[in-house]
């Protein structure tokens, strides 16, 4: 039997994953500076309130709605504000599923979506699994990261159907600027493209510039169709409670909503318990986010204190999100450096090449790491970089 050509040709782990597995099988304790699962990072969740929300009688009832339950959509609209209505929303089991629905909606096999890089590597596979191609368009760094709108314009082809941006970006932390937003929406309108805006990290601003775009929803009348994605995984640091959403904005929203409802009706994947619990979970989210923000800021301050004694190392601004990039002398490839730190310091970091960072000379660390472990990890790796 032949597998689909949309799948990878093999499923062998990369060198870093293979090395990690080998060391763990040998009983080596590994300090992980890449963790992005908040449920394993020592935060105090309001357990009783969360469990009570999931134990409501409504969780025993099945009343499917392709758009998702109205009570959950009302709560999500209130969370976002900026005039968003329940009618503008469609619920999904995750933002990844949201991308899958949108790629089905917007493209035919062989069509393309443009994705600024550096970026999270998931987009390539989400597009490929829907028969589309994700074409990367390099951003550039000058004091901070910037979209290269000229390069994006040049990358548009007859097969281009959409642009995907993450605000703020993972791992660069780059918030779109107001100027970039205006240029991006004008570009999409000019070429008849949709704009997909992933705002899962929008609540986690750390060093935001004055001209940042806090959310795409502040634009009341964008000239192109805008699909905003988010979900409980980051908004409430609850990745185990699978609930994402798509907010529709701009021209053609009503028609797109009907088509998305048709697509979602083929799956009906969002569970009744998480929809029933959504209003409570969103009410609890600010308290959980405060803990996460406190951790991010503490670790960033720890990093800066340690960098003061390491003149060969530096970091770019961390405008938002859960990750940061460490600049280092490019004496070897990023992957070779990460492998060396894993073997010699029993510490896991991500090479910048995983995120399509240009050249060598970047490591990516998670600021979500428990602060004592983060400090210990820096102490292990800095002498070896």
* The predicted structure's pLDDT at residue 108: 97
At 99-151, the pLDDT tens digits run: 999 999 999 999 999 999 999 999 999 999 999 999 999 999 999 999 999 99
318 closest CA partner among 175, 211, 149: 175
Residues 187 and 335 in one domain: no
Name, in order, each residue with C-beta under 8 angstroms of 103's C-beta and a sequence gap of 6 or more.
113, 126, 127, 130, 132
Lowest mean pLDDT among 1-10, 247-256, 264-273: 1-10
Quote the domain boundaries for residue 306.
15-44+285-384
Q: Assess whether 168 and 32 both reside in one domain.
A: no
User: Which pLDDT value is given to residue 61?
Assistant: 87
Give a yes or no: residue 7 inside a domain: no
For residue 51, tell me if it sits in a domain. Answer: no
For residue range 179-209, what is the model confidence (pLDDT) as tens digits? 999 999 999 999 999 999 999 999 999 999 9
Q: How many domains does the chain have?
A: 2
Concatenated DSSP letters for 140-155?
EEESEEE--HHHHHHH
Q: Is the pLDDT of residue 289 over 90?
A: yes
What is the pairing mode between strands 323-327 and 362-366? antiparallel
- Rounded to whole angstroms, the Cα distance separating 237 from 291 reads 10
Checking if the pLDDT of 283 tops 90, the result is yes
The mean predicted confidence, pLDDT, of the chain is 96
pLDDT of residue 345: 98
Which of 283, 304, 328 is the endpoint of a domain?
283
- Within-domain flag for 6: no
Looking at residue 10, its pLDDT comes to 87
Is residue 94 located within the same domain as residue 192? Answer: yes
Using CA atoms, how far apart are residues 90 and 347, in angstroms rounded to an integer?
41
């Amino acid at each position: 039997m032949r597998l689909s050509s949309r799948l990878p040709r093999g499923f062998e782990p990369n060198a870093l994953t293979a090395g990690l597995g080998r060391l763990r099988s040998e009983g080596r304790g590994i300090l992980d500076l890449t963790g992005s699962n908040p449920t394993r990072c020592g935060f105090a969740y309001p357990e009783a309130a969360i469990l009570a929300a999931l134990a409501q009688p409504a969780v025993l009832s099945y009343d499917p709605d392709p758009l998702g339950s109205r009570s959950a959509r009302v709560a999500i609209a209130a969370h976002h504000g900026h005039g968003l209505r329940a009618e503008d929303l469609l619920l999904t089991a995750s933002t990844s599923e949201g991308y899958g629905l949108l790629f089905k909606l917007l493209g035919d096999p062989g069509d393309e979506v443009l994705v600024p890089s550096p970026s999270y590597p998931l987009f390539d596979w989400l597009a490929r699994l829907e028969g589309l191609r994700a074409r990367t368009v390099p951003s550039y760094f000058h004091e901070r990261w910037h979209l290269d709108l000229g390069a994006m314009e040049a990358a548009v082809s007859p097969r281009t159907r959409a642009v995907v941006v993450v605000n703020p970006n993972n791992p660069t932390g780059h918030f779109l600027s107001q100027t970039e937003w205006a240029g991006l929406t004008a570009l999409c309108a000019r070429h008849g493209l949709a704009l997909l805006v992933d705002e899962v990290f929008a609540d986690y601003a750390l060093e935001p510039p004055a001209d940042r775009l806090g959310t795409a929803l502040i634009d009341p009348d964008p000239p192109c169709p805008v699909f905003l994605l988010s979900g409980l995984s980051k908004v409430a640091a609850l990745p185990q409670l699978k609930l994402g959403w798509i907010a529709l904005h701009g021209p053609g929203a009503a028609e797109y909503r009907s088509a998305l409802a048709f697509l979602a009706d083929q799956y009906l994947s969002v569970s009744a318990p998480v929809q029933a619990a959504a209003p409570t979970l969103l009410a609890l989210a600010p308290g959980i986010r405060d803990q996460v923000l406190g951790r991010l800021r503490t670790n960033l301050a720890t990093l800066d204190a340690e960098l003061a004694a390491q003149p060969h190392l530096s970091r770019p601004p961390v405008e938002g999100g859960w990750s940061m990039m460490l600049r280092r002398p490019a004496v070897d490839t990023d992957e070779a450096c990460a492998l060396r730190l894993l073997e010699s310091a029993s510490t896991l970091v991500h090479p910048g090449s995983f995120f399509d960072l240009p050249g060598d000379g970047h490591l990516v660390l998670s600021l979500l790491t428990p602060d004592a472990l983060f400090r210990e990890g820096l102490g292990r790796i800095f002498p070896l970089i």
